Amino acid sequence: MSTVAAYAAPAAGAPVERTTIERRPVGARDVLIEIKYTGICHSDIHQARGHWGKGIFPMVPGHEIAGVVAEVGPEVTTFAVGDRVGVGCMVDSCRACADCAAGLEQYCQNGPVETYNGVDRDGNPTYGGYSTHIVVDEDFVLRIPDALSLPEAAPLLCAGITTYSPLRHWKAGPGTRVAVVGLGGLGHMAVKFAHTLGAEVTVLSQTLRKKDDGLKLGADHYRATSDPATFEELAGRFDLVLSTVSAPLDMDAYLALLKTDGVLANVGAPEEPVSLNLFRLMLGRRSLAGSAIGGIAETQEMLDFCGEHGIGAEIELIRADQINEAWERILNSDVRYRFVIDVATL
């Protein structure tokens, strides 16, 4: 065991504060990572405030981790001391079920082990990246390409893969039209990916406030959803509508934007159940779908894609003592587009 510094929420709804936690000894197949940067995901706030059911406290959030390998176990073959690496939303899975065998560890039938607010194989709670070090099985460690800066790479581990995976699954590319709903942490990555994959990209945002940003990030069109003309003019237009917002959407209105066989995929989830008119699915054989992060192999593919195309997140670097303030700003949609903690300040 080693004692390391961390920021933790001591109880549901309490602000995070500096503390220390214990990390397990480096096992035969483990990698000890010196964390350099950790992105702040909206779900950190939900979980630390107990919005998604009972959390494990104290809670050390953070599942957008970028750092450098500090030590490896004797049986580690993929990584060496000094390698630039990342850790996303999972640190283990059962490795035995059909989904794990298919490289879909995020859908592990026995539940992937979440990077924080989870229970590790040894029965201990997992603690995330608001911390100086983490010990992770090498199979759940990702390699960060040299072309990417570590702070801009950190948010790729959740916001990046969460949007890359559905764009790939539903085949965004040349000749397809993709709408991205919401231009926040997830949405801005979705725009970059869909554009780089070759799709025609439209941002659908409440207002035109971030229009200049959206176009710079790669969108071809930018429309306000507060304007009813948007829904009239764009009816039947898209192959894929990717919703990144957690506010409840008018499903019928967004499904009407799909062409025949189009898909409305959700990666942001409202807390309340949604309702829809099933005729909207039947007419035009449309699909309503969801997607959660991505598997380990696909996450590495996404990082390599980012390295090749020079794609990183748009970030605002903060000190550890600004985390609580950053959470408030995220809740007020006041971030362009991801806060990243400089762990050296922790």
Residues forming contacts to Zn ion in the complex (CB under 5 A) are 41, 43, 93-94, 97, 100, 108, 158
Contact, 241 vs 265, CB < 8 A?
Answer: yes
Nearest-angstrom CA–CA distance, 288 and 281: 8
Distance (Å) of CA 176 to CA 172, 224, 241: 6, 21, 11
Instruction: Please state, as a whole number, how many other Cβ atoms lie within 10 Å of the Cβ of residue 1.
Output: 8
64 or 239: CB nearest Zn ion: 64
If the CB atoms of residues 163 and 176 are measured against Zn ion, the closer one turns out to be: 163
Closer to Zn ion by Cβ: residue 162 or 202: 162
AA letter at 147 = A
Of 4, 45, 13, 64, nearest to 312 by C-alpha is 64
> Between residues 148 and 157, which has the closer beta carbon with respect to Zn ion?
157
Closer residue to Zn ion (CB): 176 or 291: 291
Evaluate the omega torsion of the peptide bond into residue 155 and state whether it is cis, within 30 degrees of 0.
Answer: no
Smallest distance, Zn ion to C-beta of residue 240, A: 21
H helix intervals, 74-130: 98-101
Closest by alpha carbon to 240, among 289, 182, 187?
Answer: 289
Q: C-beta of 10: minimal distance to Zn ion in Å?
A: 22
Closer to Zn ion at the Cβ: 100 or 320?
Answer: 100
- State the nearest-atom distance from the C-beta of 8 to Zn ion, in Å: 18
Q: In what order do the strands lie in the sheet with 177-181?
A: 221-224, 200-205, 177-181, 238-243, 258-266, 287-290
- Least Å distance, CB 190 to Zn ion, is 14
| Spatial separation of the C-alpha atoms in residues 268 and 265, rounded to whole Å | 9
Q: Taking a C-beta distance cutoff of 8 angstroms, is the pair 202, 257 a contact?
A: no
- Cβ closest to Zn ion, residue 43 vs residue 163: 43
Q: Shortest approach of Zn ion to residue 154 CB, angstroms?
A: 11
What is the smallest separation between the CB atom of 84 and Zn ion, expressed in angstroms? 20
Residue 337: asked if its preceding bond is cis (omega within 30°), the reply is yes
CB of 95 to Zn ion, least distance (A): 6
